[in-house]
Structure 1
Amino acid sequence: MDCGLLTNKKEAVPLKHIEVELEVQGHVATVTSTLQYINEEECPLEAVFVFPMPSGAAVCHFSAKIADQEIVAELQEKQEAREQYDDALSSGEQAFLLEESEESVDVFRLSVGSLPPHQSATVTFIYIIELSVQADHSLQFCLPAVLNPRYSPAGTGGGIVSEITSSSTRVSYSLSFTAHVSSPNPITKVESKCPLEPLTFLNTEHTKAKVSLSAGHKFDRDVELYVYYQNPHQLTAIVEAGAPTAQPGTLMGDPAVMISFYPEFPESVMSSTMSCGEFVFVMDRSGSMGSFTHEEGRAQERIACARDTLLLLLKSLPMGCYFNIYGFGSDFESFFPKSVQYSQDTMAKAVKKVKEIRADMGGTEILQPLEHIYKQPCIPDHPRQLFIFTDGEVGNTRDVLHCVKRNADVHRCFSFGIGEGASSALITGLAENGSGHAQFITGTERMQAKVMQSLRFALQPAVIDIVEDWAGLSFTRLSPPIKTLFHGQRALIYAQLKGEDCQNSEANGKISVRYRLGEQEVSNTVHFSMMSIENSGLVIHKLGARCLIRSLEREEQDDGVDKEALKARVVELSKQSGVSSSHTAFIAVNKGSGQAVKGPLVTRRIPTQGLSSYDAQLCYYSLYDADESMCSSYSRGYDIKNRCYVKKSLTKRIKNWFGFSNRSFSVKQAASLETSEASMDPLLQIVSLQEAVGCWQMESTLAEVFGVTKKELIAKIPEKVKPDVWATLLALIWLHGFKIDAQVEWQCLAMKAVEWLRTQTVGNLLECVRVGNSLLGCQVKEDALGL
């Protein structure tokens, strides 16, 4: 099997091993990655490795070791670094160039130049990143291992992202991963979706621990680590002294502070929802959405999972709101010409259209539908909320984010990255620029659970009107102002501290954060010491510099600004702080590497694990005539990643991809089959039967889900209880009795049902629940229903 960096004979593998060391300090982490190369060819070699990086990362170090000599790279203006790299190669010197893509901040290219035959080289890069807060209050670190091919719209060129290629081969280089965790608060546990060695505590207070990735990891998925601390909501402030060699008054010379703001939401706020809003769902229908959600067991296609999720969303919307659904690929289309008011009729029409959605719209042109949506007039008293679903494979990320930022005042954006390799720059950027919330659905995670959690955020009050009081401290803010925080979100505030008081380690500081949550005015205060943390590695300074650099880069996209002045400021900050930017690159040249290059310099690209099964299928099918017999013939031999399908099932997928029609097994029949298969899920069937107002009707299909007949349901109706009230009570009892583990998915529609029941005459509720439990075989308590 072909793998790694390929020779002309497809044998040699210059990249042998990747070693990752992770140092977690509270809410932030320092990541050291070491890549080992060997040129096994008989000629000089240039290796090009395009790889993913978390979008919030601050790359701050790059070095290379050739034989016994180590060279440390320096940051230079990008074009100057490229010219120096080319000059070094033409002189026969060994050189290394690490640069960020100008299209997307989560893609980097490492060029390893002029390695002589049989020579080895080790390159090391270090980056710093904030850990993201999860729903269970854990902190997540993600090492991206999967980088999907990015779709570049026609005429954009693509840049570095256009070099990303998919490979049907397994990446051969190995990975070792070790994490050291330290925190002021005790560590309760560390978890991962990948196999880990047992957690080892390094002190009796459990504030220091070590954990490693088990051997044999295939590096075919992101490595995610979840760290749990005691007292996760505790407000904290950490001061870091400036670099001794830096000039006082500069960003790196003055102290810097990081404030962690993680507000708690009382139950009274969590239980309240609004009934207004314009909800616009924007669904990726490009060809890549026909890929599987994961590589384990009976995985769904991404588009099928998206259909189920849209069904849940439609059933969970409040009466009186407005909504619309867009699908996009190379072009886009909407269910309605403009957003319509939510009712039983409009919901039913939308549900019917949702069942017809396929991954059949070609490329990934997300910018066009966004621009169209923003041109639509806003509906008074109904704030616009966008829900964007994509596997994140676009090449014009910066243009998309600039469009969202320009319209930030008229909407809120919730974004969802589907599958391994979704662009973190795109997904998190959409949410950050649209004052919303980002979610990533990877591995075997259910999309429905994460999406419904975000809908709850959209329907509930958020922390707004945030004001900070620095109690007389002189400071320069490095991070952008906080506009909105939803339940479960945390903000890290960075600032450069100025003045003599800030240089005194015995002095104290105070900061207060005031905000509004629902009808409540809240104020939090934290007192902190100016004494610096030890052995910090200037983590806070560099993350603060990263925030300021990103803000300036976003400002460059605005009209009427001095782009050259902003670029010069970015380059200055980048070189001063040692943090990479879109305008700088790390360059390292080994001046004493000897003889000039003889013969041609061969370029090799290391394949990054991508959408191998889907792309391999499309490439293979394109060689065939679009004929039923050819598809059927190939279906018998289909075996990619040990996933075998029966002939009819694969034929159905081929037809969906290519739009075959007028065959004995048509696309329309395939759609009917998939709808039938979806109805096998009793939860989805219950959801599909609910009406817009929140009630269920007494139907035979509902009785089938309960495992009884409609006649039996009617026979058990308590006295003076209407059939629709009885059906709705039974549906709630069934959800609480059999699907409590998926409560986050049906909670919103259950709340609608409860609100509807409160408008009806229920009679003896206790008796209704008793009879319902007996009929369905449940033991649900009356209080659990929320009535």
Structure 2
Amino acid sequence: MMEHCCGLLTAKKEPVPLKSVEVELEVRDHVATVVSTLTYENKEDKPIEAVFVFPLPGDAAVCHFSATIGQTQIVAEVKEKQEAREDYDDALSSGQQAFLLEESEQSPDIFSLSVGSLPPGESASIRLEYVTELAVQADDGLRFCLPAVLNPRYQPQGSKGASVQVTSVPASLVPYSLSFSARVSSPRPVSKVESNCSLDPLQYLNTEQTQATVKLASGHKFDRDVEVLIYYKDAHQPTAVVEAGQASAKPGSLMGDPVVMLSLYPEFPKAVMSSVASCGEFVLLLDRSGSMDSRMNNSECRETRISSARDTLLLLLKSLPMGCYFNIYSFGSDYEHIFPESVEYSQMTMETALEKVEQMGADLGGTQILKPLKHIYSKSCIPGQPRQLFVFTDGEVGNTKEVISLVKKNSGSHRCFSFGIGEGASSALVNGLAKEGGGHAQFITGTDRMQPKVMQSLRFALQPAVEDVSVTWDLPKGVSATVLSPPITALFQGQRSLVYAQLTGQSSEAAEGGVTVKYSLAGHPSQSQLHFALRPAEDTGLTVHRLAARTLIRSLEMEKSDLTGQHDDGVKKKVVEVSVQSGVSSAFTAFIAVNKGDGKAIQGPLVRRDVPTGRFTMTCSTPHLIVCRAMPMRSAHGASRSQPHLLKGKMGKPAKPHGKQMQLSEPQRMTKKSSDAGLRLKGCSVDMCLPEQTRDPLLQLVSLQKASGCWVLDPDLAAALGKTSEEVENTKPASVFRELWATILALIWLHGFKKDAQEEWELLAMKAASWVRAQKAACVAECVEAGNDVLGCYVQKGDLGL
């Protein structure tokens, strides 16, 4: 056996089989169908096996996989995973072409595609199709993300299974091209489509503007995730889609019966939503692994993920209500916490926390999130203070399902809000934390600012919790609904909840169904209703059925699994049954395609090539390695395949080492603590620290606010407002005490100069306005008028919430 390893030595022109990736996206309302075509070419003089590890959205349902070689197309079928692997091995051993697509058992957003026995000079075209729901963003946009990066996932020591082995190169050197196009249709007009990548102009296909197409501009380097945001007019209308069953499937089965997908948008009373909770235990969990030292994006901006997180924690801490409790954890290979237990929020505890936050760097090594989570959950909840967990991570972990299982186990004691930072954050981890924790997930990519998205989630956390959620159906006689979705545990103002249900029985075409969602909000019973026609919609394919099957599969995979991911045989059997019946991937099944062709065996020894995956990197670090391992020589006449294929060790069978294998792990970053001590300012590393005088004026002003909500009249405040001490001191109305004058000046400045960033400071301004009102001063109107004169603004007293 031989082994070949190389670094960024592309001059060697080691053949890489993947030539191009073509992606077609079709969006119907809030559901997407994605078709990816991957073209391989073997330029070597011997048969090869290519292995390509790639990410997909964590909640995607892979539903079609086929391969075209020359004029022959073979369509894969779903089989139990071990059976599929054995079929793949047998095919390669007998000299046949075979293709295997499998999902990682540790993280449902990682897939491995093995292309086996591709003869010299031959091309193969792989077609992969999946369906997925599009998440609603805080600004009502629907988010689709095509991941371009698969960072090596950090695998904790002692955890089961080997880490996913990823061949990784800088994105600029990825040797395959990408094309991307999207078609959007909806009952409501498409108002706009935005992206973090350059798009050709949006083309409308009808005068109602309910259908449109858009393409990625030519020349895209595939150096980042392709993120597309779709905006509709009147996005918050509840909808129902009834999809007819598959004609060839047995009535009474999931695929044979109609399935309904409900999209619910509860509207809560404004009086309730305008109030902000003054209680809660806020536990903030910050990733400080080495990768958090990467820049936020690949522009000229020098801001790093960790520095943006520090600024965000400043805003969060200033926005917390008096009377709540809080603590801050940070983690890497190990974890730290600021206080042994959550403490009551006060000026003293806030200042202590901020001092610690300012010193936080990306210096804790790997990404072991399980240990701090266990520690947090081991602490008793504080009576009358509902626990709210905020998790910030760039999402490079290998034990995703283990982490999500722990959150699910503790979902009754808290809500979890998660934030995926930067390119390559695992959607399975970030979405899974929020979904199982009854919270909300946000992704910060490209030129996004972290602060407004985090503050949106804090507003959700401060909303009154919705309790006792129930869904009841009103259906004609003879028709019944079997709900396939897990119970709804969280409802947020303006956020969508999806419910899938299988409809069994017969009804007339004109029949109508209804569903009522009942819940308790701030102690008051409320409900939302939706009526819908039972007649199936036309031309929906089986998209809704496949999403319903995916939902059921994910629920079953989480069911009765312990923290090591072990399932009982009954659950596994049910997952395999639903997966095979629906043709949708799962952790226990795989797609297998074998081309028996003309029956002739492919001659020659078979070598293996791992296809490089683009790695998004903006920090100066050691080059990422391309790892190419040749396969042991294999007879075309049935010799056994001794090298386990990719992920086999990770999925239950220990991989046997063949010589020295290189495995990528998260880059270790050395910190010279002593020699760099004099070059650090408040804990910031040199390359990301701005001089104090050029700090963002908004953050400068926010940093001066007291925990109670007020500001103090001093030279620092004057500087933050862009004035001299004399200008703010000498214009103070005589009857006004200093803190009141300072606080009104700060509020006027925020409203007058930072209106575009209101999402970031709105909560702390509400706290300041509440403090002003509590002073019951008679001279507020005079102060506002004088403050406008000093700052050159025209803000009305009513605008300040006074």
TM above 0.5: yes
Distance 1:655 1:258 in 2: 46
Q: Where does residue 123 of structure 2 map in the other structure?
A: 120
Gaps of 5+ in 2: 626-666
Cα 1:106/1:361, change in 2 over 3 Å: same
C-alpha distance after superposition, 1:243-287 (max 9, x if no partner): 111111111111111111012244323321011111000000111
Q: Summarize the alignment of residues 436-447 of structure 1 with structure 2, pairs less than 5 Å apart.
A: 436-447=439-450
| Residue in 1 that maps onto 2:778 | 763
Residue aligning to 1:661? 674
CA 52–678 in structure 1, closer or farther in 2 if over 3 Å, else same: farther
Does residue 1:490 correspond to 2:496, yes or no? yes
Deviation at 1:347, TM superposition (A): 0.6
CA drift at 1:516: 3.0
Per-residue deviation, 1:763: 3.0
How far off its partner does 1:158 sit?
A: 4.9
* 1:592 aligns to 2:597 (yes or no): yes
Provide the rounded CA distance (Å) in 1 between the counterparts of 2:217 and 2:401: 37
Amino acid at match of 2:418: S
Q: Verify the 8 A CA contact 2:8 2:623 in the aligned structure 1.
A: no
Q: Does 1:191 align with 2:194?
A: yes
Q: Which AA in structure 2 matches 1:506?
A: A
Q: Which of 691, 707, 726 is the aligned partner of 1:677?
A: 691
Query: What residue identity is the alignment partner of 1:269?
Result: V
**What amino acid is aligned across from residue 589 of structure 2 in structure 1?**
T
Q: Distance in 1 between matches of 2:316 and 2:327?
A: 11
Distance in 2, matches of 1:406 and 1:254, equals: 33
> Is structure 2 residue 800 aligned with structure 1 residue 785?
yes
- 2:398 and 2:209 map into 1 onto residues whose CA distance is 44
Bigger mean CA deviation after superposition, 423-432 or 165-174: 165-174
Residue type matched to 1:191 in 2?
A: E
| Structure 2 letter corresponding to 1:514 | K
AA partner of residue 282 (structure 1): L
For each residue in 1:649-705, what CA deviation from the matched residue of structure 2 results, as whole angstroms up to 9, or x when unmatched?
Answer: xxxxx9984233146845568749666636621111111111110111111111111
**Counterpart check, 1:61 vs 2:71:** no
Indicate which of 723, 746, 751 corresponds to 2:761. Answer: 746
Note closer, same or farther for the CA distance 1:666–1:33 as it changes in structure 2 (3 Å cut).
same
- Aligned partner (choices 574, 580, 588) of residue 579 of structure 2: 574
Q: Distance in 2 between matches of 1:570 and 1:141?
A: 27
Q: Distance in 2 between matches of 1:355 and 1:274?
A: 27
Distance 1:184 1:671, change over 3 A: closer
Aligned equivalent of 1:735, options 746, 750, 753:
750
Partner letter of residue 513 of structure 2? G
1:553 aligns with 2:568: no
Structure 1, unpaired ranges of 5+: 621-653
1: distance between equivalents of 2:510 and 2:121?
A: 57
- Over 3 Å counting, the alpha-carbon distance change for 1:118 and 1:5 in structure 2 is farther
Query: Which residue pairs with 1:471 in the alignment?
Result: 474
SS of residue matched to 1:172: coil
CA contact (8 A) 2:136 2:143 kept: yes
Task: Report the residue type matching 1:760 in the other structure.
Answer: Q
CA distance in 1, matches of 2:683, 2:353: 20
Q: d(CA) in 2 for partners of 1:462 and 1:655?
A: 41
Confirm or deny: 8 A CA contact 1:92 1:593 kept in the other structure: no
Partner of 2:319: 316
In the alignment, structure 1 residue 608 sits paired with structure 2 residue 613: yes
Q: Does 1:399 align with 2:405?
A: no
CA 1:759–1:183: 2 relative to 1, 3 Å: same
Please give the secondary structure, in 1, of the residue aligned with 2:621: helix
Instruction: Please tell me the residue identity of whatever aligns with 1:414.
Output: F
Decide whether aligned partners of structure 1 residues 664 and 420 sit closer, same or farther in structure 2, where only a CA change above 3 A counts.
Answer: closer
Determine if the alignment matches structure 1 residue 255 to structure 2 residue 258. Answer: yes
Q: Distance in 1 between matches of 2:560 and 2:465?
A: 30
The verdict on how the C-alpha distance between 1:672 and 1:231 changes in structure 2, with shifts beyond 3 A counting, is closer
Please show how residues 198-209 of structure 1 align to structure 2 within 5 Å.
198-209=201-212
When the two chains are superposed, the root-mean-square deviation of aligned CA atoms in Å is: 2.4
Write the mapping of 1:335-346 to structure 2, written as runs, cut at 5 A: 335-346=338-349
Aligned residues of 2:92 and 2:116 also touching (Cα < 8 A): yes
| 8 Å Cα contact 1:5-1:14 kept in structure 2 | no
Letter in 1 for 2:582: S
Distance 1:668 1:311 in 2: 16
| Greater per-residue helix proportion | 1
Within 5 Å, give how 1:612-631 maps onto structure 2: 612-614=617-619, 616-617=621-622
Mapping of 1:333-412 within 5 angstroms? 333-412=336-415
Task: Give secondary structure in 1 for the equivalent of 2:612.
Answer: coil
Correspondence for 2:44: 41
Aligned to 2:101: 98
Cα distance change on mapping 1:197 and 1:266 into 2, 3 Å: farther
Matched letter for residue 591 of structure 2: F
Alignment match, 2:531: 527
Task: Tell me by how many angstroms 1:319 deviates.
Answer: 0.8
Query: 1:214 corresponds to which letter in structure 2?
Result: A
Q: Secondary structure, in 3 states, of the residue corresponding to 2:474? A: coil
Instruction: Report the secondary structure of 1:609's partner residue.
Output: strand
> What one-letter code is carried by the residue in structure 1 that aligns with 2:605?
P
After alignment, is 669-678 or 771-780 more displaced?
669-678
* 8 A contact 1:733–1:785 mirrored in 2: yes
Kept in 2, the 8 Å contact 1:288–1:614? The answer is no
The answer to whether the aligner puts 1:507 opposite 2:507 as a matched pair is no
**Residues of 2 paired with 1:527 and 1:676: CA distance?**
56
Q: CA contact under 8 A between 1:516 and 1:522: conserved in structure 2?
A: yes
Give the partner amino acid of 1:496.
Answer: Q
Please give the secondary structure, in 1, of the residue aligned with 2:774. coil
Go from structure 1 to structure 2 and tell me whether the alpha carbon gap of 1:310 and 1:7 turns closer, same or farther (over 3 Å shift): closer
Given candidates 24, 30, 34, the residue that maps to 2:33 is 30
The size of the alignment, in residue pairs, is 751
Contact 2:154 2:397 in 1 (8 A): yes
Whether the 8 Å contact between 2:138 and 2:456 is mirrored in structure 1 is: no
Q: Is 1:301 the equivalent of 2:314?
A: no
- Aligned equivalents of 2:344, 2:42: Cα separation in 1: 64
Query: Given the superposition, is the C-alpha separation of residues 22 and 324 from structure 1 closer, same or farther in structure 2, using an over 3 Å criterion?
Result: same
Distance 1:271-1:464 versus aligned 2 partners, 3 A rule: same
Residue by residue, what CA displacement relative to the aligned partner does 1:466-511 show, whole Å, maximum 9, x if unpaired?
222211441111111111112232011100001222xx43322122
Q: RCO (CA 8 Å, sep 6+): is it higher in 1 or 2?
A: 2
Moved more, 356-365 or 135-144: 135-144
Q: Which residue of 2 aligns with 1:414?
A: 417
**Range that drifts further, 560-569 or 538-547:** 560-569
- Whole-Å separation in 2 of the counterparts to 1:15 and 1:562: 36
Q: Provide closer, same or farther for how the CA distance between residues 8 and 250 of structure 1 changes in structure 2, counting only shifts above 3 A.
A: farther
DSSP-derived class of the 1:612 partner: coil
Match for residue 82 of structure 1?
Answer: 85
Alpha-carbon distance in structure 2 between the residues aligned to 1:64 and 1:6 = 31
Q: CA deviation at 1:89?
A: 1.1
The one-letter code of the counterpart of 1:409 is G
The one-letter amino acid paired with 1:39 is N
How far apart are residue 52 of structure 1 and its match? 0.7
8 Å CA contact retained: 1:5, 1:606: no
Question: Which SS does the other structure have where 1:162 is aligned?
Answer: coil
User: What code does the residue aligned with 2:59 have?
Assistant: G
| Range 218-227 or range 39-48, more displaced | 218-227
Distance 1:566 1:4, change over 3 A: farther
- Range moving further from structure 2, 171-180 or 429-438: 171-180
Q: Which of 568-577 and 596-605 deviates more?
A: 596-605
Question: Is the 8 Å Cα contact of residues 661 and 667 (structure 1) preserved in structure 2?
Answer: no
Distance, in Å, in 1 between the alignment partners of 2:432 and 2:351 is: 33
CA, structure 1 residues 529+3, in 2 after alignment: closer, same or farther (shift >3 Å)?
farther
Contact 1:721 1:763 survives alignment (8 Å):
no
Partner Cα distance (2:384, 2:369) in 1: 27
| 1:4–1:607 CA contact under 8 A, matched in 2 | no
| AA partner of residue 498 (structure 1) | T
